[in-house]
Chains A and B, each alone.
Chain A
Amino acid sequence: MDKKIYSINDPVRSYPKFYEKIVPVAIGLVVVILLVLLVITFGVAMGVWANPAQL
């Protein structure tokens, strides 16, 4: 079986310009939001927001 050797001159697929910029930002934001949500949900489980008067 032939083993392909990649060089820096090989064509690399790319998304259209707009998506090349926006997609990694969006994925990064989603990950941050996910972490925030997990912290919040864990806080709820621990009773942090059980009584709003305590905020």
Chain B
Amino acid sequence: MLNMILPLLSGTISFVFAVLIFKRYMLRKGAYLLLWGIGTIFYGIGGLSEAYYGYFGWNPLVFRLWYLFGAILVAAWLGQGTVYMLAKRKWANTLLVILILGSIYGAFKVFSAQLDPVLMAASTHTGSELSGTAITSPGVRILTPFFNMYGTLTLVGGAAYSAFIFWRKRILLHRTIGNILIAVGATLPAFGGFFSRLQIPGALYIGEFLGILLLFAGFLRATTPMKNVSLAPTPAAAD
């Protein structure tokens, strides 16, 4: 039951979140919003693929979509949005080209991979959750950690860095809080994936669900100024 409802909620929240991001993109433009929107759609595809598997069972196309978008690409594309917000345009463009080429290569590898769903049922998850163990071709699963390292470093690191900058200047408290929520939210699916590898049932889906909740909350907090908080000047010499 958990393996149906949680990913369905994650997927649905992701698509609602993506709509809000694209709305903001239409108003403000900015490549970072576009890339976050794309990344959030990837998140949603991952969640809905897991829900499909929970409700209807194995489907090779759904599995490939899940692995490509939900396991390989999502963190890296979200992180690329942060790169556009924080790095120089020239660097961001270069990294985007590398990411696009890597994503095309990843898509080729995933869609040409041999699959054996029986291998998922052999794990302690008893096959109730999607798992990369179904991929039998070499050179596919090894791609995932490299994309995820880039995604984690840029998304979590970028949000933490932004929070630090706002905190150091004591400005825009809502953005400080929002970025901390985003940073924590971005770590949860990664931890979920790790604990899932350690054969802890439900870890991935719970991590993804809590992750998208915090990412969404962080985005809303960061884009909504706080009404009741004023940044009071205090004499530095008071201490």
Q: Which residues of A contact B (CB under 8 A)?
A: 8-16, 19, 23-24, 26-27, 30-31, 33-34, 37-38, 40-42, 44-45, 49, 52, 55
Contacts and interface: CB of A to CB of B under 8 A. Distances in A.
A30 to B, nearest CB: 5
B170 A37 contact: no
B167 A23 contact: yes
Interface of B: 142, 144-146, 148-149, 152-153, 156-157, 159-160, 163-164, 167, 169-171, 173, 176-177, 180, 183-184, 187, 190-191, 194, 197-199, 229, 231-237
Contacts of A12: 170, 233-236
16 contacts: A9-B235, A9-B236, A11-B236, A12-B170, A12-B236, A13-B171, A14-B170, A16-B173, A16-B232, A27-B160, A30-B180, A34-B183, A34-B187, A41-B149, A42-B145, A52-B199
B234 A23 contact: no
Nearest to B163: A27
B180 A10 contact: no
Given A27-B160, A34-B157, A45-B146, A55 B198 contact: yes
A1 B215 CA distance: 43
B203 to A, nearest CB: 13
A11 B160 contact: no
Chain A interface main SS type: helix
A38 B194 contact: no
A32 B223 CA distance: 26
Contact of A33 (B187, B229, B236): B187
A11 B234 contact: yes
B232 A41 contact: no
